[in-house]
Structure 1
Amino acid sequence: ALGQGMMDLFGGDKLNVAALGNMVPQLHLHHIVRYEGDPAWPGPVWGKQPPVSYLPGGLNDMRDKLKPLIASLA
């Protein structure tokens, strides 16, 4: 449900889901909406490009888009 909601919200071409538990004890998941033509396509996103910071306000914008989706799943 979360993955499909993210695809609907962001209009991606594919969705990568990763569960990495070797660094933290809590459940730790990544849902990454992917687009054909992104710099790492079709490979994994990690280690291909240097990290890019969010633009000012970008993290808040992302949170505001995702908040209703996550609330609808509760």
Structure 2
Amino acid sequence: SDPNDAAIVRTILALAKSLDLEVVAEGVETTGQLSFLRLHGCEGFQGYLFGRPGPVEDIHAMLHSLP
């Protein structure tokens, strides 16, 4: 929501794109943040919006249960 933060993120994403780098946005907590990142070309995300940290065994089991 801070205009300076938004400008920094847009600049980082543009630089990564120009260097053909893949970006993973960390700390995504809201759908608004996710929408902003997608709008500006980010395709990788992690954060509480998607799930809380947990033991590796739980994550492994969850991934294997996906269709």
Q: Would you say same fold, with TM above 0.5?
A: no
TM-score between both structures, scaled by the size of structure 1? 0.23
TM-score between both structures, scaled by the size of structure 2? 0.24
Query: Which one has a larger percent helix, Structure 1 or Structure 2?
Result: 2
Q: Which of the pair has more CA radius of gyration?
A: 2
Query: Which one has a larger percent strand, Structure 1 or Structure 2?
Result: 1
